Structure 1
Amino acid sequence: MLELNYHHLRYFRAVAHDGNLTRTAERLNLSQSALSIQIKQLEERLGHALFERRGRQLFLTEAGRIALDHADTIFSAGEELVETLKETGRTRRAIRIGSLATLSRNFQIEFLRPILGRSDVDIILRSGSAGELLGALEGLNLDIVLLNQPPMAQATTPFIAQHIYQQRVSLVGRPSYGEPGAKLSDLLASHPVILPTLESGVRTQFEALATRLGVTPQVAAEVDDMAMMRLLAREGAGLAVLPPIVVKGELETGALVEFDALPGMIESFYAVTVKRRFPNPLIGPLLEPALERTIGT
């Protein structure tokens, strides 16, 4: 059976992430020729070239990309092993949380609240697209991912998606737009609206509602970022279609008003994990309060 030299793999991974042999050699306190030999030996063992040179830069080949994916998984698993099994005298534990870049910051704070301020916890937050975050979760670089839609089922990676929160969706805007409780169809006919993009489940719900009401609203903006929707509503660009939690502070100060809850419309939030032999023990304190709130709704 062909054995892999993990020293070679570690050096390859460092060069792959740096993209520059000279810089990596300096960082690792190695000669450039010694590092090149390590990479060459790994390529010979795998039977494929892992890099191609373009000018002074190194770029991964297709085989190199596959090797890097495996290397990241291997060394991330090793780091997780050390974190999980090291002596109990450790005083702090890290939890790595990924969140969809467009997700409400207020929702994220509410989710994190059970561990905020704990002196024994390091919170590491990362944002990105759903694909990027789920890839990092699969590679053991994240412990949990927050999304507004459950991931598609995959045979290779059984993601565990738990519905942790949902909130009604409302029309929100400046107080000058009228009195709260005004007739919904009149509001939609009289003022432009700020909508999520077509990929959003909320947008689909809104289009169906507008059809039922027999109105064709003027669209002021289509936005995939809840934070930007909040800013546009504050600037008076139109009535925003979003969950009130997104503008919690503005509603409390009166800068914005919730005019009407949109019937039948909800925004859902999911916490996604993968099955692990040694799951991060901080996941429980985060999920339990969220799941209790969901069950109680």
Structure 2
Amino acid sequence: MINFKQLHHFWSVARAGGVVRASERTGLAPQTLSGQIAALETTLGVNLFRRQGRRLVLTETGDMVLDYAEEIFRLGTELEDALSTRSAGRALPFRVGVSDVVPKAIAYVLLAPSIALPEPMRIVCRENKLDQLLGELAVHKLDVVLADSPLPPHMDVRGFSHKLGESPVSFFATPALSASLKGAFPACLHGAPMLLPGADAAVRRPLLRWLEDHKVHPRIVGEFDDSALMKAFGEAGVGIFPSADLISDEVCRQHGVQRLGTADSVRESFYAISVERRLTHPAVRAISNAGPMQSDSTDTTP
């Protein structure tokens, strides 16, 4: 088993750039630091440093061990901060990654239970591609990731996917565009300008299949990874766009559009993805327990 005191001495020397400089910073004798690093190398069965002239430089393995040590001691500092924050009554950080295909209004609905907790929370939201967010989740830079699909099986991340809810999908258009359509829904979509979610959106394929099943072939004029950008184009009258019916009233109010109809068989689902260690975070538990349509957590360990 790794001796974390020895690992900390290795980390200090690597960050300082040498034993003498680390000795000056830590107040420990150079011989003590060298002995601790030698003991760690014996335990691990690898060389962490090599001589380059009069300097010590990290080996390739040493670089890898340093990366792990940086994360270990960063998490240790984070733990101390979290405990002191809780004891002092300050807001507990809740770091959330939101996949760029998840509508902002949906993200708010899903995160609302964490805001209502008696323990004060300070939400830090990051938006990005799902794979980028899962990378940050894997190294504990995020507490949870909100996505429109479970953790992909090809991702080298141990995690749990918690289904928070789902909604049928409706189609929206400006009053002017709506007035120009012919026929009843969904036939009115045939030949009409249509905006679609990008290829990364889980709902895209079911939508296309639904249109095909109804023998409706709209004219695709735009594809968007960012759902907010798609709605902005829809608000400008560029085309009809789909959105979760769960937030239809807000979509109509915010973007000045009308709901044309609902594809009831197309369901847009939303998930909270977390690593096992983070299941203890009170905000993660709150949003998982409050999901409108709960399901069992799925362990997606590769």
TM-score, length basis structure 2: 0.72
Alpha-carbon distance, 1:65 to partner: 6.5
| Residue aligned with 2:101, SS | coil
Alpha-carbon distance, 1:88 to partner: 5.7
Asked if 1:99 corresponds to 2:98, the answer is: yes
Counterpart of 1:227 in structure 2 is: 228
Q: Which structure has the bigger radius of gyration?
A: 2
Counterpart of 1:261 in structure 2 is: 262
Measured on the aligned residues, the alpha-carbon RMSD in Å equals: 3.8
| Residue aligned with 2:149, SS | coil
**Which segment drifts farther, 110-119 or 263-272?**
110-119
Alpha-carbon distance, 1:113 to partner: 1.7
Q: Counterparts in 2 of 1:145-294, with a 5 A limit?
A: 145-153=145-153, 157-178=157-178, 183-245=184-246, 248-252=249-253, 255-276=256-277, 279-290=280-291, 293-294=292-293
> How far apart, CA to CA, are the structure 2 residues paired with 1:246 and 1:95?
24
> How far apart, CA to CA, are the structure 2 residues paired with 1:181 and 1:62?
67
Counterpart of 1:131 in structure 2 is: 131
Can you list the C-alpha shifts for 1:104-158, whole angstroms capped at 9, x where unaligned? 1111111222233777221122222222222222212211111111013479743
Q: Any unmatched runs of 5+ in structure 2?
A: 26-32, 51-57, 296-302
Counterpart of 1:73 in structure 2 is: 71
1:223 counterpart letter in structure 2: F
2:190 counterpart letter in structure 1: A
| Residue aligned with 2:135, SS | helix
Closer, same or farther in 2 for the Cα pair 1:67/1:2, shift >3 Å? closer
| Residue aligned with 2:136, SS | helix
**Which segment drifts farther, 153-162 or 238-247?**
153-162
**Which segment drifts farther, 278-287 or 148-157?**
148-157
Instruction: Give me the identity figure in percent.
Output: 22
> How far apart, CA to CA, are the structure 2 residues paired with 1:246 and 1:232?
18
| Residue aligned with 1:152, SS | coil
| Residue aligned with 1:204, SS | helix
> How far apart, CA to CA, are the structure 2 residues paired with 1:165 and 1:62?
45
Can you list the C-alpha shifts for 1:181-218, whole angstroms capped at 9, x where unaligned? 95234322141100112332221112212221223221
**Which segment drifts farther, 97-106 or 281-290?**
281-290
> How far apart, CA to CA, are the structure 2 residues paired with 1:202 and 1:278?
27
> How far apart, CA to CA, are the structure 2 residues paired with 1:277 and 1:190?
48
1:160 counterpart letter in structure 2: F
Counterpart of 2:298 in structure 1 is: none
Closer, same or farther in 2 for the Cα pair 1:105/1:213, shift >3 Å? same
Closer, same or farther in 2 for the Cα pair 1:69/1:236, shift >3 Å? farther
